[in-house]
Chains A and B, each alone.
Chain A
Amino acid sequence: MGIIGEFSELYLFPNGLFITIQLAITSLLGSLVLGTVIALFRIAPLVPLRWLGGGYVEFFRNTPLLVQLFFLYFATPYIGIYLGEPDTFGFRAAALGLTLYHAAYVAEIVRGGLLAVDKGQIEAARSLGLTYLGMLREVQLPQTFRAVIPPLGNIGIALVKNTSLAATIGVADLLFAGDIVESRTFRAEEAYAAVAILYLSLTIPLGILVNYLEKRMLVAR
């Protein structure tokens, strides 16, 4: 019997791929926004805000993503946090967990970018009468975003790979599809090779894009 014949569950792979992409895009957007806010906290002129930002980054970077996902998935119902109906709960918990985790990494990169902006520009903007927030919006943030695109791309690649952890809390992503196919057909090689190729088809083009952007940035300077 041909391999395709045995794989009557073949449709699981495109479905899983779709969920993985959906999860990656949702969490990437979320972590970009949250990470930028935390980076602003970390360089804020108010000391308590800086502590808050620093505490967030250190906590989420130094604990495993899996523990954070398990906390969101298994523990939130006990605190009475409502993340959704049973069919959407896993996905939302995973998206939230991935967002929180990668926001810490995004924050570190954006903070580096913010600190790299020439101090004279900030002082000039302030002395021209811009408020602190106005200066951030008009002067500091626009320059930062340009410089941090390539490193953020690296975080995006890490995020795509990390979406696989969602399978452990029952989200039907790509790895989960592989698990199901494997358990129904006992063909681990083929099932996981398919999963691996599909992951590579996401991460390798992203890697090439990041390298290209890095080169272009170097030329632009």
Chain B
Amino acid sequence: MRPDTWRMFVDPAILRFFGNGLMETISLSLAAIVLSFVIALVFAFGRLSKRPWIRWPSIAYIEGIRALPVLLLIVYFGIKGSALFRPVFGPEFELSRYWAGVLGLSLYTSAVLAEIIRAGIVSLPRGQTEASRALGLSHAQSMRHVILPQALRLMVPAMMAQLTTIIKDTSLVGTIGVFELVRQGRVVYTQFFNPIEVFLFVAAIYFVICFALSQASRRLEVGYTPKAARAKIREVQLRDQAA
């Protein structure tokens, strides 16, 4: 390999350039996981609802969005995001590419998280709900004070695993022009003509972050999540972690 093409990686200006991309990647992932968690809670409960006019739309949303490529959602919001929100925020509204990306990622992740949350809730023993109802709590109260706190605790490892998926998926937001890590990498290699070095470097950064997160999640999972819930969550993740 040509030795001089590695020298740029000790240049502070180049490293700062990659650093900016990394910050963008991290900020995208955090924004996406927070937003998707909020949406996911709504649809997880929607799917568990006894009222068919709430349950069926929730099922349609979850299964429909999960079956779509996340890149399609990101590209769609990148092109049509502004027009979509103009009826709400006025005719001058421009959705930035950053938020278009967050929206695309969140929509997709919310469907996955909703399934994971549902798996957590369903795997709790029935006695928990029955006991809290028998003690006089309403359905909403028993969900809020008894079921949800336990279910969410079960799901901490699964959420961390999902965060690694989101971090990997933020690379797709580069395609609509957000300058995250991969996009910065493309800018650098078109200047220095060293795609091998640049993409290995970028891959290494992703690897360090995602490997640490997935190891931590696996450590936590053992003895933390009961076997039944783990199997259900695994099944949900299989289809989506590979995304």
Among A62, A154, A165, A199: residue with most chain B CB under 10 A: A62
The answer to whether B79 touches A199, judged by C-beta atoms less than 8 angstroms apart, is no
Question: Which 10 A-B residue pairings sit nearest by Cβ, starting from the closest?
Answer: A158-B242, A164-B69, A62-B210, A64-B171, A203-B67, A75-B195, A154-B238, A64-B168, A161-B69, A74-B195
The answer to whether B171 touches A188, judged by C-beta atoms less than 8 angstroms apart, is no
Taking Cβ atoms with an 8 Å cutoff, the residues of A that contact B are: 58-59, 61-68, 70-71, 74-75, 78-79, 101-102, 105, 109, 151, 154-155, 157-159, 161-165, 167-168, 175, 178-179, 182, 188-189, 192, 195-196, 199-200, 203-204, 207
The answer to whether B214 touches A61, judged by C-beta atoms less than 8 angstroms apart, is yes
The answer to whether A64 touches B182, judged by C-beta atoms less than 8 angstroms apart, is yes
What residues of chain B lie closer than 8 Å to A175, measured between beta carbons? 69, 71-72, 75
Partner of B196 from A78, A158, A199 at Cβ < 8 Å: A78
Given the complex of chains A and B, what is the CA–CA distance between A204 and B80 in angstroms?
Answer: 25
The answer to whether B195 touches A63, judged by C-beta atoms less than 8 angstroms apart, is no
What residues of chain A lie closer than 8 Å to B200, measured between beta carbons? 71
Is B199 at the interface (CB under 8 A from chain A)?
yes
How many Å from the CB of A76 to the closest CB on chain B? 9
Among A109, A178, A188: residue with most chain B CB under 10 A: A188
What residues of chain B lie closer than 8 Å to A61, measured between beta carbons? 210, 214
Given contacts A62-B168, A63-B168, A66-B174, 17 further A-B contacts (CB under 8 A): A58-B211, A64-B168, A64-B172, A66-B171, A70-B185, A71-B200, A78-B196, A154-B235, A158-B238, A158-B239, A161-B70, A178-B72, A192-B72, A192-B76, A196-B72, A199-B67, A200-B68
A-B contact list, 18 entries, CB within 8 Å: A62-B168, A62-B210, A67-B202, A67-B203, A67-B206, A101-B242, A109-B238, A158-B242, A161-B243, A162-B69, A162-B243, A163-B69, A164-B69, A165-B172, A167-B71, A175-B72, A188-B76, A196-B68
The answer to whether B172 touches A155, judged by C-beta atoms less than 8 angstroms apart, is no
The answer to whether B242 touches A199, judged by C-beta atoms less than 8 angstroms apart, is no
Q: Which residue of B lies closest to A158 (CB)?
A: B242
Which DSSP category, helix, strand, loop or mixed, fits chain A's interface?
helix
Given the complex of chains A and B, what is the CA–CA distance between A178 and B73 in angstroms?
Answer: 12
The answer to whether B164 touches A62, judged by C-beta atoms less than 8 angstroms apart, is yes
Given A175-B69, A199-B67: A70 touches B211 (CB 8 Å cut-off): no
The answer to whether A199 touches B68, judged by C-beta atoms less than 8 angstroms apart, is yes
Among B210, B214, B238, B241: residue with most chain A CB under 10 A: B238
Given A74-B195, A154-B235: A204 touches B67 (CB 8 Å cut-off): yes
The answer to whether B72 touches A199, judged by C-beta atoms less than 8 angstroms apart, is yes
What residues of chain B lie closer than 8 Å to A195, measured between beta carbons? 72
What residues of chain B lie closer than 8 Å to A155, measured between beta carbons? 238-239, 242
Given the complex of chains A and B, what is the CA–CA distance between A79 and B203 in angstroms?
Answer: 17
Q: Which residue of B lies closest to A207 (CB)?
A: B67
Bitwise interface map of B from 228 to 243 toward A, beta carbon under 8 Å scored 1, else 0: 0000000100111111
Given the complex of chains A and B, what is the CA–CA distance between A6 and B196 in angstroms?
Answer: 43
B:193-231 near A, CB below 8 Å: 194-196, 199-200, 202-203, 206-207, 210-211, 214
